[in-house]
Amino acid sequence: MSFAYSDIAFTPAVRALQTRMGSRARYAAFDLAPDRHDRLGAKEAGFISARDGFYQATVGETGWPYVQFRGGPAGFLKVLDDKTLGYADFRGNVQYISAGNLTHDDRVSIILMDYAHRARLKILARARLVAWDEDPALMAQLEMPGYRARVERGVVLAVEAYDWNCPQHITPRFTESEIAAVTAPLRDEIAQLQAQLAGRPKRDDA
Task: Give the start-to-end residue ranges of the domains of the chain.
Answer: 1-35, 37-191
Distance between CA atoms of residues 64 and 48, nearest Å: 27
Q: What is the pLDDT of residue 109?
A: 98
Distance between CA atoms of residues 155 and 146, nearest Å: 20
Tens-place pLDDT, residues 130-154? 998 899 999 999 999 888 888 899 9
**pLDDT of 204 strictly over 70:** no
Q: What is the pLDDT of residue 118?
A: 95
Give the highest mean pLDDT range of 113-117, 131-135, 196-200.
113-117
Q: What is the CATH number of domain 37-191?
A: 2.30.110.10
Mean pLDDT of the chain: 92
Q: Which of 87, 115, 96, 111 is nearest to 163 (CA)?
A: 111
Q: Which of 34, 25, 29, 46 is nearest to 121 (CA)?
A: 46
Instruction: Give the three-class secondary structure for 152.
Output: strand
Q: What is the pLDDT of residue 203?
A: 67
Tens-place pLDDT, residues 157-196? 999 999 998 898 999 999 888 899 989 999 999 999 999 8
Residue type, 2: S
Q: Which of 111, 125, 130 is nearest to 82 (CA)?
A: 125
How far CA 165 is from CA of 53, 156, 158, in Å, comes to 17, 24, 21
Pick 68 or 203 by higher pLDDT: 68
> What strands, in cross-sheet order, belong to the sheet with 119-131?
65-71, 53-59, 107-114, 119-131, 151-165, 84-90, 78-81
The CA-based diameter of the chain, rounded to the nearest angstrom, is 87
**pLDDT of 206 strictly over 70:** no
Q: What is the pLDDT of residue 205?
A: 60
**pLDDT of 1 strictly over 90:** no
Report yes or no: 8 and 52 within 8 Å, Cβ to Cβ: no
Q: What is the pLDDT of residue 37?
A: 92
How far CA 103 is from CA of 60, 84, 106, 107, in Å, comes to 10, 19, 7, 10
Percent of the chain with pLDDT over 70: 97
Distance between CA atoms of residues 128 and 93, nearest Å: 21
Residue 161 parent element (H or E): strand 151-165
The predicted model gives 3-27 an average pLDDT of 94
How far CA 154 is from CA of 57, 192, 201, in Å, comes to 17, 49, 63
Report yes or no: 157 and 86 within 8 Å, Cβ to Cβ: yes
